Amino acid sequence: MKAMVYSEYGLTDVLELKEVDIPEIKANEVLVKVYAASVNSWDWDLLRGKPFLTRLGGIRKPRYKTLGADIAGRVEAIGENVKNISVGAEVFGDISGCGWGGFAEYVCASEEALSLKPAHMTFEEAAAIPQAGVLALQALRDKGRVHETKKVLINGAGGGVGTFALQIAKLYGAEVTCVDSKGKLEMLKSIGADHVIDYRTEDFTKKNGQKYDLILDVVGNRSIFHYKRAIKSEGKYVMIGGSSFLILQLLLLGPIINKTERKKMTILLHKPSKEDQNFLKDLYTAGKLVPVIDKEYSLNQVPEAIDYLGKGKTKGKVVVCVEDSQS
């Protein structure tokens, strides 16, 4: 089979499309023929080995040889202990807990990582949902308790996590302000943003003294003190992505700010969840959630796809079409 592999940290020029063996399934795994996979910021980080925390599984060389956590495809074979998925089933999921490997023609994954794909959902839409959608849902519902809030701000709203977060926050009845570059603002308004801010021309931590019940931060590009002044008393800040310096600030100063100023400042740790994938699937089926797909690439264009995401220009998700689902 073909797979996009790498053996050293670096930029996209270290990626190579190679012929490798089809993986062998274990007793609790299924073999999936991949039709689509999506690119996440974690792929970009693991490729470069930056920030350094991404190297915990491999200090000098990457632990995983093939990136790609979000997949959608058809089941080709099942292990002897698999109970709830059959051969021929159309599935999707986040396989980051199973060894990655989505940028390939076949991949093995635990059945616990995979959800059944609705027939009317395309493979491209299914691949766009798992990691970004679940991160957005967990940040808003679990960490941010969005059902208790009125005013939500999403910093870096134009990417994969942000476009899901905007739609989910609106379903909970929040008034949502989205911050991103000018070229993404019309798209954000088209999917429900109440207010938009071009970060290049306006600083939302200073803008008219506005304060928010919840700030969801996908980019983490400011000091904790900037975010603190934009949060209401009893408000919350949830970081999904950002700099190592901000992570350190949140770990050291977050508990102090929470105690002295009653503003909760936390970090969301990635936690794949089949239950949450199914929750998002149900929203899609009900017509309440639509994956925003910016561009589609072929398997041999994975370097271009990752490079495009790394430049921060994506409007929603970037999807890799590994195989024609009609073949």
> Is the confidence at residue 59, as pLDDT, over 90?
no
Beta carbons of 157 and 218 less than 8 angstroms apart: yes
Give the closest residue to 68 by CA, choosing from 323, 243, 306. Answer: 306
Instruction: Tell me what pLDDT residue 78 has.
Output: 97
Cα 226 to the center of its chain, rounded Å: 25
SS3 assignment, position 161: helix
Domain boundaries, given as residue ranges, for the chain: 2-117+292-321, 131-267
Q: Please, are residues 3 and 103 in contact by the beta-carbon 8 Å criterion?
A: yes
pLDDT greater than 90 at residue 110:
yes
Name the percent of the chain lying above pLDDT 70.
96
Length of the chain: 327
Mean pLDDT of the chain: 93
Q: What local confidence, expressed as pLDDT, does residue 64 receive?
A: 87
Name the β-bridge partners of 296.
319
pTM over 0.85: yes
Quote the CA–CA distance of 74 and 30 in Å, as a whole number. Answer: 10
Radius of gyration of the chain (CA): 20
Please say if the pLDDT value at position 327 is more than 50.
no
Name the CATH superfamily housing domain 2-117+292-321.
Medium-chain alcohol dehydrogenases, catalytic domain (3.90.180.10)
Given a cut of 80, whether residue 231 has pLDDT beyond it is yes
Average pLDDT over residues 58-84: 93
Is the distance from CB of 52 to CB of 95 less than 8 angstroms?
no
Parallel, antiparallel or unpaired: strands 29-39 and 16-19: unpaired
pLDDT in tens, 265-296: 999 988 999 999 999 999 999 999 999 999 99
The stretch 193-200 carries a mean pLDDT of 96
Assess if CATH 3.30.70.20 describes domain 131-267: no
Two tokens at 76? 């080709």
* Number of alpha helices (DSSP H) and beta strands (DSSP E) in the chain: 9, 15
